[in-house]
C-alpha cells in the first residue's frame, strides 16, 4: 500500500535551519509599519515622505527588459542627470542597489582575476563576488594595512600577467556608519594598478558638495573604477546606478545579467528619480541636508552628555550603531524603545558578527533635537538597568 505525501510542506532541512534561528534568537520577521518616531528608515532627507501624484501620461509599467521594450526615453535623461551630478563619465541605472552590485561584480570578475573586499561589505557585494569567477579575499574592516598584507600574501609581490586586481569597499558602511580613508585607499590602488570599486549607497545625497558623495566631493572619481549610488535612501525613491566609464557601461549592457534578464523600471519611477535629483540640488535639498548634518552633530553631543560613547561605533554620516551584544538583549531594548514611541531596529547576528549585535539609529532631517535627546535618555536609562 502506498501513501502520497503533500509536497507543499517545508523540507526537514529547511525546517531545521528555521528552528536554529529560533533557538539562537536570530529569527527574522516582517514588521508592520506603525506611527512611531522614525529612527530606522534610510529616508535621510525625508524625500520618501513627499506626497506626489503619479506623473501624468506615463505608463505604470515598462513592458519588458531594457534590451527588449523597456528602455523608455526617460532612462537616457535620468542617466545623464545622475552622471553629471556625481561627476562621472557614464551612468547605468539598475532596478535596485542589490541588482547593481550583483550585476556589476558577476559580470566583471573573470578567471585569473583577484578581488579583495572589506570584511563588512554588504550582502549584495558578497553575492556578486560569489557569482563572479575571481579569487576572493577579505581584509579587516577599514584597515589599509590589513589589505596590504593580504595582497602580499596572495600575490607575493608579483604582478599579474593575465588578470586584474579589484578592491571593493563602501564609503559609509550600512551597519556601522563608518568608512575607510578613501584618499589613502585610492592612492594605494593607483600605485599598484588595482581597480577600486566604491559603494556610495549611504553617502550619496549626504556627503560632498550638494550631496554628490564622498568620492566626487574629494574629486577622487578619476581614481575609482566604478561607483554605486542608490536612489532608495537619501533620494527617497527606487533604483540604483553604476557610475563608470563609457566602456564599462557598454560592457555591462552586454554582460550584466541582472540588467539584461529583468523587467525595466517603470517610467513613473524614472520620473521620480529625475524629480529627486532636481529637489536635492535646489534650496530645499540644501536646507534638508544642513538640518541632517546638524542632527548628526546634536546626536553626538547627547551621546557624550549621557555617557553612551562606549557603546557607539564612531561614524561619519547618518547611521549610528549602539553595540549591545546578544540577540535577545538587543531585541528586548528595541521593544522597550518601541513602547516609548521610537522605531529603532535591532541588528542581529548573523547580519553582524556574534557578540556585536546592535541598535541601529538612522538620523533624518525631520528628526527634532527633543526627539534625539529623549530617545537617547531613555536608552541610557535602559542600559543602566540591564
pLDDT tens digits, one per residue of 313-350: 989 899 999 999 899 999 999 999 999 999 999 999 88
* Residue 53, in any domain of the structure: no
Where does residue 377 fall: left (phi above 0), alpha (psi -120 to 50 degrees), or beta otherwise? alpha
225 and 362 in a single domain? The answer is no
Q: Nearest to residue 302, comparing CAs of 223, 250, 371?
A: 371
Express each pLDDT in 341-382 by its tens digit.
999 999 998 888 888 899 999 999 999 999 999 999 999 999
Q: What percent of the chain has pLDDT over 90?
A: 82
- Answer yes or no: do 326 and 177 share one domain: no
As given in the structure block, the three cell numbers for residue 46 are: 525625508
Q: Which three cell numbers stand for residue 236?
A: 527617497
Query: Does residue 10 lie within any of the structural domains?
Result: no
Which residues in the chain show pLDDT less than 70?
Answer: 1-7, 52-56, 386
329: Cβ contacts below 8 Å, ≥ 6 apart = 357, 386
Look at residue 320 and give its three-state secondary structure.
strand
What pLDDT digit, counting tens, does each position of 240-268 carry?
999 999 999 999 999 999 999 999 999 99
Q: Give the total number of structural domains in the chain.
A: 2
Query: Any idea what the CATH number is for the domain that residue 134 is in?
Result: 3.40.640.10
Does residue 241 sit in the same domain as residue 113?
yes
Q: Which domain holds residue 111?
A: 73-280
Residue where one domain finishes, among candidates 258, 280, 302: 280
First vs last C-alpha separation in the chain? 60
Q: What is the pLDDT of residue 38?
A: 95
Judge if 101 and 218 occupy the same domain. Answer: yes
Final residue belonging to a domain, choices 256, 280, 304: 280
Using the structure block, give the residue that is written with the C-alpha cell 594605494: 188
CA 363, distance to chain mean position in Å, is 15
Cβ of 93: how many Cβ atoms within 10 Å?
24
* 255 shares its domain with 147: yes
Q: Which residues pair with 317 in a beta bridge?
A: none
Report residue 58: phi and psi, to 5°: -115, 130
**194, 302: one domain:** no
Give the Cα separation of 146 and 180 in Å (integer). Answer: 12
pLDDT of residue 316: 86
Amino acid at each position: 500500500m502506498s501513501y502520497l505525501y503533500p509536497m507543499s510542506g517545508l523540507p526537514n532541512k529547511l525546517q531545521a535551519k528555521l528552528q536554529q534561528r529560533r533557538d539562537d534568537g536570530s529569527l527574522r520577521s516582517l514588521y508592520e509599519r506603525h506611527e512611531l518616531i522614525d529612527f530606522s528608515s534610510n529616508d535621510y532627507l525625508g524625500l520618501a515622505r513627499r506626497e506626489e501624484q503619479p506623473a501624468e501620461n506615463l505608463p505604470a509599467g515598462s513592458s519588458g527588459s531594457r534590451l527588449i521594450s523597456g528602455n523608455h526615453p526617460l532612462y537616457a535623461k535620468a542617466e545623464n542627470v545622475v552622471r553629471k551630478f556625481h561627476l562621472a563619465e557614464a551612468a547605468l541605472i539598475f532596478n535596485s542597489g542589490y541588482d547593481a552590485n550583483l550585476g556589476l561584480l558577476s559580470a566583471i570578475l573573470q578567471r585569473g582575476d583577484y578581488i579583495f573586499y572589506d570584511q563588512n561589505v554588504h550582502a549584495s557585494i558578497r553575492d556578486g563576488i560569489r557569482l563572479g569567477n575571481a579569487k576572493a579575499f577579505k581584509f579587516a574592516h577599514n584597515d589599509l594595512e590589513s589589505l596590504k598584507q593580504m595582497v602580499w600574501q596572495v600575490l607575493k609581490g608579483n604582478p599579474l600577467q593575465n588578470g586584474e586586481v579589484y578592491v571593493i569597499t563602501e564609503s559609509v558602511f550600512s551597519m556601522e556608519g563608518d568608512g575607510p580613508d578613501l584618499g589613502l585607499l585610492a592612492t594605494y590602488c593607483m600605485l599598484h594598478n588595482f581597480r577600486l570599486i566604491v559603494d556610495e549607497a549611504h553617502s550619496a545625497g549626504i556627503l560632498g558638495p550638494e550631496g554628490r558623495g564622498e568620492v566626487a566631493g574629494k574629486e577622487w572619481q578619476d581614481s575609482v573604477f566604478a561607483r554605486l549610488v542608490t536612489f532608495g535612501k537619501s533620494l527617497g525613491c527606487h533604483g540604483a546606478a553604476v557610475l563608470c566609464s563609457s566602456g564599462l557601461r557598454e560592457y555591462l549592457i552586454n554582460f550584466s545579467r541582472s540588467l539584461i534578464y529583468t523587467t525595466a523600471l517603470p517610467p513613473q519611477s524614472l520620473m521620480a528619480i529625475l524629480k529627486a535629483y532636481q529637489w536635492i540640488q535646489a534650496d530645499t535639498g540644501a536646507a534638508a541636508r544642513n538640518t541632517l548634518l546638524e542632527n548628526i552633530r546634536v546626536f553626538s553631543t547627547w551621546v557624550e552628555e549621557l555617557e553612551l560613547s562606549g557603546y557607539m561605533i564612531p561614524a561619519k554620516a547618518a547611521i549610528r550603531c549602539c553595540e549591545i551584544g546578544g540577540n535577545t538583549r538587543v531585541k528586548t531594548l528595541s521593544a522597550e524603545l518601541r513602547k516609548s514611541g521610537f522605531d529603532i531596529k535591532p541588528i542581529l547576528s548573523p547580519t553582524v558578527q556574534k557578540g556585536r549585535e546592535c541598535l541601529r539609529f538612522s538620523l533624518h532631517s525631520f528628526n527634532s533635537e527633543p526627539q534625539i535627546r529623549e530617545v537617547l535618555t531613555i536608552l541610557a536609562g535602559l542600559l543602566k538597568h540591564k
